[in-house]
Structure 1
Amino acid sequence: MAETAAAAAAAAEAASAETPPFQLGKPRFQQTSFYGRFRHFLDIIDPRTLFVTESRLKEAVQLLEDYKHGTLPPGVTNEQLWSAQKIKQAILHPDTNEKIFMPFRMSGYIPFGTPIVVGLLLPNQTLASTIFWQWLNQSHNACVNYANRNATKPLPASKFIQGYLGAVISAVSIAVGLNALVQRANKFTPATRLLIQRFVPFPAVASANICNVVLMRHNELEEGIDVLDGDGNIVGSSRIAARHALIETALTRVVLPMPILVLPPIIMSVLEKTFLLQSRPRLLLPVQSFVCLAAFGLALPLAISLFPQMSEILKSGVIPNVYHKPEQDDNLKETPIKGFCPKKRQTGPGNSV
């Protein structure tokens, strides 16, 4: 018994040593490396937080409040504090402190978005079903974007509507247009035509995502976005930083749907030729759903980990395009610009499939 207790204590001590010191409001993992960002976003999209009870949420919030005011009860570990922060960030909006509707949380994006991906990739789609699934996908994205919006610097409702309509129109137009072209291609065999049709959702969704980000954020190219110094102080705004942020966000939105909408058709075209699925066609939908879920679960954290939330811009490239705010002139004299620009919390990964 003594040996067991000693082993358990040693294991607990080792786990505690691996846990970084808790920092309120800061990421648990380093954001300077891809691996650190990947682990960070795995935490954010963890679907287990969907099952957190109201009492557990209150406990987590209270624990963070105690830490903030220096009244933590004895024995609270760093692991418990990180877990409490993860729960709070997964459920409550950081600006409004209100609960986010479960289907529109980042942790709910994969489980609630996978059925839509399956619908997008269904074979032999009609015109009506193509329009429906593309509309439903962009509507789900719009709801996720709005639920996770930056409420401290809100965009006008017209911007969201403009981005939503642009995304829906572009997605539906490209999907319908490409399907029509494939149907008219007489050189393809029926099997080849079906395979090509399965890849139509990707260019439709990717173009809609780019259209959405350009429509919603084009004003940043003219006005610039906030630039911070190395201490996190806002020192002005930069159009160069805005251009970098816009390009990286657009690239993320193109990369994200690629494995989700390209890998499943390839995998299913192989699996459908197996004896199991040919003899049991009823298994096709469950197998395709599992393949889509696996691709979604892998692609989401990988795509949103590509670029850091805070991008570093060379000082020489930022200064000519920084528009200083009068009340910050004194601060600028004392604090040099380090060249860090936030990409803003752009409605999370709902940026979307």
Structure 2
Amino acid sequence: MEPNVRFWIAQRQSFVQRFLQWTELLDPLNLLVSAEKIEEARQLLFTNEDASRHALEDQTIQEAWKTSLSTVHPDSGRPIPTLFRPAAFLPLTMPSVFLSMIPAKGMMSVVLPQVSLHAYTTAFNVINGNQSYSRHMPESMMLGAGVIFSSTFFGLIPYLVQMKYSLDNPLIKRALPVAILAHVSAMNIFASRGFEPVRGIEVMDKEGNVIGHSRRAGRKAVRETAVSRAVLFGTSSLVPEVFTYFFKRTQFFLKNAWSLWPAKLSCTILMMGLMVPVSFSMFPQIGRIQCSNLEEEIRSSTEETELYYNRGV
């Protein structure tokens, strides 16, 4: 069985345990792990089938799990490109989120953060999504280009509305971009991983044996990830806006107007640093689904009452 799948099935963790696990996997140092170290860690885990039982006891096994879980895709078993490993998500999306929430001073100041944010998140969603369904490179590239264009367009709507109608209501000016960002982030997941509910993803028993491909499991995986991404970007953009609203009314700001943007940037970094592991931890990496909720051909192929699937990140 693929070691990463074996780990997530064996470790039936609570939300708090998953959160603590992800704080380790999101360590930026995981971006520097070499291919040789990944291969060594994988060989160690393959030759120690009971390693998951001793993950909290042996330091060598701990490091091997950390390396494997943070750098290798559980479906394909191949290393994830460095810039799209989970540890890269925060440093590469946080600047775009911050810049996208700054009041527009021109079209380019609005377009560039939106394009960079949705281009990266689309590629991240595809690469870290489920890999067990059949797909071809040309259709994946066309889908990705369409998702980037549509996500950017919808992300620009609140700024275009403000430019055209000169809205002065602070609630609309601040709340509308936050709401749109949360919704577009969720829809980006549905669109970029749209093949999963259509073609189905692998479902397996607790031993890792593939029972079949389920469209219903694909819908569940995409829906859960979309919810977690909406919570991530919605909260990470809302809290700095609320902080800014009250910060502008303090005596410190009135005397030091220059301090607004450093303070808002710090708040954005703090919130995203907290919400990224929260978002990734909301649902198990290897999800469970009752066999009775799956298609008839899968129910008739096994006597198991519960099956597993890779949710993706």
Q: For the residues of structure 2 that align with 1:127 and 1:235, how far apart are their CA atoms?
A: 51
The offset of 1:92, in angstroms, is 5.4
Q: Distance in 2 between matches of 1:203 and 1:155?
A: 32
Paired positions, count: 302
Of 72, 75, 83 in structure 1, the residue corresponding to residue 63 of structure 2 is 83
Judge conservation of contact 1:228–1:341 (CA < 8 Å) in 2: yes
Q: Residue 231 of structure 1: CA displacement?
A: 2.6
Match of 1:138 in 2: 118
TM-score, normalisation: structure 2? 0.79
Match of 1:31 in 2: 12
- Match for residue 46 of structure 1? 27
Q: Displacement, 1:319? A: 4.8
Stretch deviating more after TM superposition (226-235 or 299-308): 226-235
Correspondence 1:1-353 to 2 at 5 A: 26-27=7-8, 30-50=11-31, 58=36, 61-62=39-40, 65-66=43-44, 68-69=46-47, 78-91=58-71, 95=76, 97-98=78-79, 100-101=81-82, 103-145=83-125, 147-148=127-128, 155-183=135-163, 189=168, 192-193=169-170, 196-320=172-296, 322=298, 332=301, 336-345=303-312, 348=313
Q: CA RMSD in A?
A: 3.4
Task: Give the drift of 1:31.
Answer: 3.5
Pairwise CA distance, 1:135: 0.6
- Contact 1:228–1:338 at 8 Å: present in 2 too? no
The CA deviation at 1:256 is 1.8
1:53-79 deviation line (CA, Å, top 9, x unaligned)? x5xx75675365356447xxxxxx612
**1:60·1:88 contact (CA, 8 Å) conserved in 2?**
yes
* Partner-residue secondary structure (3-state), 2:212: strand
Tell me if the contact between 2:154 and 2:180 (Cα under 8 Å) persists in the aligned partners: yes
Distance 2:37 2:11 in 1: 26
Q: Do the aligned residues in 1 keep the contact of 2:126 with 2:193 (CA within 8 Å)?
A: no
**Separation (CA, whole Å) in 2 of partners of 1:296 and 1:98:** 25
Give the superposition deviation at 1:336. 1.3
SS at match of 2:112: helix
Partner Cα separation in structure 1 for residue 276 and residue 209 of structure 2: 31
AA in 2 matched with 1:211: M
2:308 partner letter: C
Give the structure 1 partner of residue 54 of structure 2.
none
Asked if structure 2 preserves the Cα contact closer than 8 Å seen for 1:167 and 1:208, the reply is: no
Partner Cα distance (2:149, 2:104) in 1: 22
- Identity over the aligned pairs, expressed in percent? 22
Separation in structure 2 between the aligned mates of residue 243 and residue 93 of structure 1, nearest angstrom: 20
Going from structure 1 to structure 2, the CA distance change for 1:132 and 1:312 (only over 3 Å counts) comes to: same
In structure 1, what residue type is equivalent to 2:40?
Q
TM-score, length basis structure 1 = 0.71
Structure 1 runs not aligned, ≥5 long: 1-21, 71-76, 325-331, 349-353
State the one-letter code of the partner of 2:15. F
Equivalent pair of 1:34/1:305 in contact (CA under 8 Å) = yes
- Partners in 1 of 2:4 and 2:73 — Cα distance? 19
Deviates more, 1:244-253 or 1:290-299: 244-253
8 Å contact kept, 2:162–2:173: yes
Gaps of 5+ in 2: 49-56
Distance 1:64 1:44, change over 3 A: same
Q: Is the 8 A contact 1:318 1:339 kept in 2?
A: no
